[in-house]
Amino acid sequence: MLLVGYGSIGKEIERMLVPFQVNILRVARSARTQPEVYAVSELDSLLPQVEVVVLILPFTDETRGLFGSRRLALMQQGALLVNAARGPIVQPDALVEALHSGRIRAAIDVTDPEPLPEGHPLWSCPNLLITPHIGGSSVQFTPRALRIAAGELHRYIKGEPLQNMVQMAI
């Protein structure tokens, strides 16, 4: 599996997959080690190596249309593309074409446009699972969010560094 985006959510996805012994490759803006993370400039050489590609990176000027026809064609025959990030990171026309041709499968929590209007070509695509931007929703969401907020408040009051600083994205 290739994680495109190795921030807080990418790392958590990896942690949850450890018991399943999934081999994971990681991509972020810049390369680093321990664990090994490849720079996004390496993306093209990594795509043919994996059966599953998970997009979990922000939507910015750099990531708009990051996955178009050329990159989708680099994926293995029958590979699965999971977009849990933002719709415009995958070019909609290219995705529709790749799904209809049977080249890849996809599971997308986000679309472009969103919500997906009635009659949009994605609704009738084969090999596609669509969920309505609910990737963050689970019964555990509220208790976890409260735990994180309480921890941040304690750190703030004690003058300690915060763990969740907001960074600008679109």
Please report how close the Cβ of residue 103 comes to ligand NAP at its closest, in angstroms.
23
The reply to whether 162 sits near ligand NAP by the rule CB under 6 A is no
The reply to whether 30 sits near ligand NAP by the rule CB under 6 A is yes
The reply to whether 140 sits near ligand NAP by the rule CB under 6 A is no
Token output for 136: 């963050």
**Annotated catalytic residue 114:** yes
The reply to whether 85 sits near ligand NAP by the rule CB under 6 A is yes
Please list every residue from 45 through 64 that binds ligand NAP, using CB under 6 A. Answer: 56-60, 62-63
The reply to whether 9 sits near ligand NAP by the rule CB under 6 A is yes
The reply to whether 71 sits near ligand NAP by the rule CB under 6 A is no
Using CB under 6 A as the criterion, which residues of the chain lie in contact with ligand NAP when the complex forms?
5-10, 27-30, 40, 56-60, 62-63, 84-86, 109-110, 133, 135-136, 167, 169
**Active site positions, annotated:** 86, 114, 133
